[in-house]
Structure 1
């Protein structure tokens, strides 16, 4: 095994003087941001599922007309198709509002905290956890990827 792989890279080593509490705080801030990333993914799922449902209504309206139910077809078309999912918003507008008013400011703040408090070094909490849990000398427990060809 390459000795290079036995030491974490500098980007994942704690800067001198950085306290345990600060490392934990930045780890917590990072986990919170990761949770918003998951929430954002769910918004995109909501967006796509709602759009798929709305497009499926074309088929429902057509079949209601073919089945001799024009009033029901008209009601689906005028009451549900293209309807705002919340007042004044389609799903893409909800995503845009989330991104602009919450997600992007959160990302910017988290990045600024890591830059200012940890010299821009990401995932220090996780890197230290990895070091504490890996088995020295085990080929599947290297400190970092082998980047040599």
Structure 2
């Protein structure tokens, strides 16, 4: 391994003149975006689970019919199945509102801040943490993947 292979690549190196405070602030923005991404994943999980529940409710209505419980089956079909989960919205509409509103705003702001402050470079805070924490020259502590 050459000495240049034991340094981070340019995409993960702080541009000249960028302060510690700027790298820390961008790291916090990145952390916030990661949490928003995780929340988005939970929201998609909520969307999928609610859809699965609605389909299972449909199967339950069919089984109630087969068991001679037509009144209960009809009540389930008319009052529960296909019901909005939030006033006026099915889960896909909640997901779309989140994606187009909060999620897009946070994602775009984080991108703009990186573009404006460090030429779009990502994860500078983490890259510098890696440099501080890894044992230089040891296997499995390389700065970056090898070309092998």
Shared fold, TM over 0.5: yes
**Equivalent runs, 1:69-88 vs 2, <5 Å:** 69-88=69-88
State the match for 1:57 in structure 2: 57
CA drift of 1:2 comes to 4.2
1:22 pairs with 2:22: yes
Report the Cα distance in structure 2 between the residues aligned to 1:4 and 1:44, rounded to whole angstroms.
Answer: 43
CA drift of 1:77 comes to 0.5
**Equivalent runs, 1:1-149 vs 2, <5 Å:** 1-146=1-146, 148-149=147-148
Report the Cα distance in structure 1 between the residues aligned to 2:58 and 2:13, rounded to whole angstroms.
Answer: 57
CA drift of 1:57 comes to 1.3
**Bigger shift: 42-51 or 58-67?**
58-67
Residue by residue over 1:112-139, the C-alpha shift from the partner in whole angstroms, topping out at 9 and shown as x without a partner, is 1001011211100000000000001102
Report the Cα distance in structure 1 between the residues aligned to 2:56 and 2:80, rounded to whole angstroms.
Answer: 11
Report the Cα distance in structure 2 between the residues aligned to 1:36 and 1:125, rounded to whole angstroms.
Answer: 18
User: When the two structures are aligned, how many residues end up with a matched partner?
Assistant: 148
Gaps of 5+ in 2: none
TM-score between both structures, scaled by the size of structure 2: 0.96
The ranges of structure 1 where at least 4 consecutive aligned residues each deviate by more than 4 angstroms after the TM superposition are none
TM-score between both structures, scaled by the size of structure 1: 0.96
